[in-house]
Amino acid sequence: MPTILDAPPVAIQRDLTALAEALTQQIPAKEEGNLLLATWNIRSFASLTRKWTAASSDSPKRDLRGLRAIIEILSRFDVIALQEVKGDLRALRDTMRFLGEDWGFLMTDITLGEAGHDERLAFLFDRSRVRPSGLAGELVVPPERLNVLGEGALRQQFARTPYAVSFQRGPVTFILVTLHIWYGDREADRIPELQEIADLFHDWAKRTNRFHHNLFCLGDFNIDREGSPLFDAFTSKGLSISDELKNLPRTIFDDPDDPSDDNFYDQIAWFRSGNEALKDITVASGGNFDFQPFVYTDTNLTRNSISHRISDHFPLWLEFAL
């Protein structure tokens, strides 16, 4: 049985080489004066079939070549917020084994309950570039903020509790909060969680400002479009999404030539003005990364099949100048 550390077959190595070259062209290099943050909802990141190419009868469909592609992408960033890490950690363990001792991860336990989908939230980080600076915890809604009167009010705790970790790069400290908003049965089901995130973040940013800590929110917000009630709830207290990431496809099923097909599922957000604004850090560049042209090129796999082997979401990234 092959392992993640083995040399891949020639055709797969060609794909991985092309993928690495595309990443080098599209994503800035790690330099002394920059910070590279990313968020990625990796579809059901759980178990792994330890074959280079999983057969149609294999379960799970994620295989070694798919995981090697995921690892190549992850390695280009300093910190990556991950959503849909599941209870089974086989793929994550192989990822860390391949990345080596310069890499670390922090994550929550699985979220119990039907709405939690057995999911974890996690951060992967390059230890040679950043280090945890002390804070780690899950965001829990204070009891007095639950069951308040009013349309769109949150009636219970988050379906998947947001996860916060503070990191430091040089003199700059930044708190990252990753989340995966509950999709629900209808659009309105998402509004209470989005509104509560907006409220909590506004209060938190005012407190952390005194210590010059920068606060970022990364993850899958399940916001369909700008200007929707979901978008309005999330931005109601001043949280702002990045201009660099607007109008970019979020999933492999989006039509890049059809603006009406845009969605805002995945985001990196922060406060731009007032005491809550970023300190000692500015946006330099950003984008998504479409891995599809560089993976499984010797197969006839559909987009849906590729989504189970790699992901249905693209990674989103931002480069910050320190």
pLDDT digit string, tens, across residues 244-277: 998 899 999 987 666 555 678 899 999 888 777 8
Taking the mean position of all CA atoms in its chain, how far away is CA 291? Answer: 15
pLDDT digit string, tens, across residues 8-34: 999 999 999 999 999 999 999 999 999
Among 137-141, 172-176, 316-320, the minimum mean pLDDT is found in: 137-141
Considering only residues 239 and 256, tell me which one the structure prediction assigns the higher pLDDT. Answer: 239
Report the b/e string of 204-232 with b at 16+ CB within 10 A. Answer: bbeebbeeebbbbbbbbbbbbeeebbbbe
Question: What percentage of the chain carries pLDDT values higher than 70?
Answer: 87
- Answer whether 178's CB lies under 8 Å from 121's CB: yes
User: In degrees, to the nearest 5, what angle opens at C-alpha 175 toward C-alphas 158 and 247?
Assistant: 75
Mean pLDDT of the chain: 88
- Answer whether 299's CB lies under 8 Å from 309's CB: no
pLDDT digit string, tens, across residues 152-164: 555 566 767 889 9
Q: Is the pTM value of this prediction over 0.85? A: yes
Q: Which domains does the chain have, with CATH numbers?
A: 10-321 (3.60.10.10)
Q: Rounded to whole angstroms, how far apart are CA atoms 87 and 298?
A: 32
pLDDT digit string, tens, across residues 104-148: 999 987 765 555 467 899 999 999 999 999 899 887 776 666 665
Token output for 250: 């979020």
pLDDT greater than 60 at residue 241 = yes
Among 45-49, 137-141, 206-210, 230-234, the minimum mean pLDDT is found in: 206-210
Report the b/e string of 128-145 with b at 16+ CB within 10 A. Answer: ebbebbeeeebbebeeee
In this prediction, residues 289-314 reach a mean pLDDT of 97
